[in-house]
Amino acid sequence: MGANGYGQLLPAADPAAAELSGRTQDRLNAYFDTTKFTAPPQIGNGTGFGNAPRNFLRGPGQVNFDMALVKRFSLAAAHDLEFRSEFFNIFNTPQFGLPGNAASTPSTFGVVSTTVVSPRIVQLALRYRF
């Protein structure tokens, strides 16, 4: 595809009309309206730029919450024990990748097929300091 990846908007299509609304989970197979696009014109060596403006569609939002809890116990003078628990992606929220942007491959065009953050990870540590 061209420089922006989406190619050619149909003549009467408004770029804002290509955006769909709703939750990302409900739009994984059609993140944006792919019917508003067609293949870009052939220019020179076969790579066309199309008329779609640059960066006019937004990908799925990403929100990630991490947390750590630490408790230190004094054992003796200059000795202590530290317990630490760390939670990454504590709410286990899926973070989706960008939708496919090549109109030349209709099976993946507008489809969100990846996640970009690991699922919840819990890490525990115990440290003795002297």
Residue pLDDT, tens place only, 76-97: 888 999 999 999 999 998 899 9
- Token output for 86: 């760390």
Cβ(50)–Cβ(9) under 8 Å?
Answer: yes
pLDDT for the residue numbered 38: 76
- Nearest CA among 78, 57, 74, 58 for reference residue 15: 57
Residue 78 falls within a domain, yes or no? yes
pLDDT digits (tens, 9 = 90+) for 18-58: 778 788 888 888 888 888 887 766 766 655 667 777 777 88
Residue 1 falls within a domain, yes or no? no
Residue 59 falls within a domain, yes or no? yes
Higher pLDDT, 60 or 57: 60
Residue 92 falls within a domain, yes or no? yes
Residue span of the structural domain in which 40 resides: 8-129
Residue 2 falls within a domain, yes or no? no
pLDDT for the residue numbered 3: 41
Cβ(32)–Cβ(52) under 8 Å?
Answer: no
Cβ(27)–Cβ(50) under 8 Å?
Answer: no
Residue 17 falls within a domain, yes or no? yes
pLDDT for the residue numbered 13: 62
Residue 63 falls within a domain, yes or no? yes
